[in-house]
A and B are shown apart, each in its own frame.
Chain A
Amino acid sequence: MAEPSSFEARLTQAAEISTRLKKAIGTVLVGQAVVVDQVLWGIIAGGHVLLEGAPGLGKTLLVRTLASCLDLQFSRIQFTPDLMPSDVIGTNMLAMEQAGGARSFTLHKGPIFGQVILADEINRATPKTQSALLEAMQEHAVTIAGKRHVLDEPFFVLATENPIEMEGTYPLPEAQLDRFLLKVMVPNPTEDELTEILQRTTGHEMKPPEKVLAREEVLELRSLCRDVAVAEPVMRFAARFVGASEPGRKESPELIRKALRYGAGVRGAQSLILCAKAVAMLEGRAHVSFSDVQNVAMPALRHRLIRSFEGEADGITTDQVVAELVKTVPTRPEAVEAAVKKG
């Protein structure tokens, strides 16, 4: 990637790269444009993404295709109930030197030592194994036998989970979920999309997509994303948005007070701003708008909200709660909002 001469040129280039990447993914994956966009936000913002959807919707295919498009080291971990933490992070193995017959421990790196990690069906592993990911996801490092090993950047985990077949699964604990920047729901394809899927998958095997993004370019995009400006009122809006998700607050909407036990918290606010920056950057803007924050609210917050018993009993989903927040939390001060509407 050529060094852009100015910030604006870099922004334009970032937008072009994003278009290219989406196009490359589109050669393999049919539809799911929103899912691709959201995954892209996660990668650019430097976070991990949890993909949830029924089997066969292309979750794994998306991650594999993405890894193919990025010139990064790809690892796949198929989570099963008998998967051990060491299977994820690796372990020290006793090895015998052939010459002298001396024995020593050598590090056998687990699949976590990749750059794009596909944690497939993450909810099938035991919490113990799931927790093995915690340090890696948060610190971008693992500790094996007391020795800390820093993982190569860029590092991101793309986990998938299946909302059906819940028997024998271990729902991710809140602390684990919180590590994911975004939770992306993979919808069922439309009739047109399904028709095209059938055309592509029932013929000859297709060629893998070409690599469109090098490691440096990914790092550059992440850096550029951090440079995007956010005005104080927009930050305040994000804070107000997350604050309104706290059921204990008087100013929170009635639905939130009724349906939630815990709100989004600090990580939620951070993910809102980071993802909004990514959105702004991919649209070629050097600043974040209120609508950027509102657009990313759903994938950024839906997995951070913990429903109350009443909410669960009434079947209120966290998506409904976020939609309510988008509807009710004002962007501008009341007087300004009124003037904008009257004008």
Chain B
Amino acid sequence: MKIKDFVYFVQEAIKSLSRNRLLSIATVTTMAISILILGAALLMTINADNFMNRLESDLEIIAFLDNSLTKTQVEDIKTDIENMAAVKSVVFVPREQALENLQKKFADKDYDLEKVVGKNPLPDCYEIKAENPQNVSNLAQEISNMPGIYKVNYGQGVVERLFQVTKWVRIISIGFIVLLAMGAVFLIATTIRLAIFARRKEIYLMKLIGATDWFIRWPFFLEGIILGSLGSLISIVLLAWGYSSLISSLQTSLFFIPLIYQQSQLINVYLALFATGSLLGVMGTYISLNKFLDV
């Protein structure tokens, strides 16, 4: 493309944007609202996913050791577990520590567990985290078969149910996002088609005078990009503002809900929304325009 042509295309795009001001505003508003809803749903989904990941990563396997093991045997078992591919980390909890934890959890200070029971009933144990939480039950099965392991505990039954729940929450939220995205595409495409329909006479005329398709397309494309990025920019500003005020109010009242707040993560979401908006602007223009270029 020659620079002269490009300048002409930009001029035409800007001229027609200001000339068809009402339609431009309608398009930007539609885009902003669609992308705002999509973005809000996206943030909700990401947060839900984050929350579920946290729940899942809290899962651990507790492997109790036989009381008869020697110190080296205990060490060897740890090395064996650590060498398993599915294992992320292994922490040794000696029986004294375990008792202390129990004491803290269940008893008042003036109520000494050890004295009441007579001796420390707890064995040494390992707290094991899996690389992938989904593997917890298989991994637990495997560890329980190792020699020197007395018993394995990982919240049997509850874990399986948790994964059922998180799986369905994920499927539903992805379906929700896909539906919303389709709705946004449809709405934006319709608005752009309306804007182009209003100028079909001009397009027809250009075709009959002998303009090439690309000569006609470029100004419309630039308009599509401008409207799309403007619309998504507005929605991002609103979304960022809304989300940050949500974080600051929730962190005091509902502190146990772990909202994501890392700027890098949020910026990725906003960038994706911006790209989506601009892309939708161009794609919508391309598809809607082709019909009118067929003269």
Q: Do A and B come from one complex?
A: no
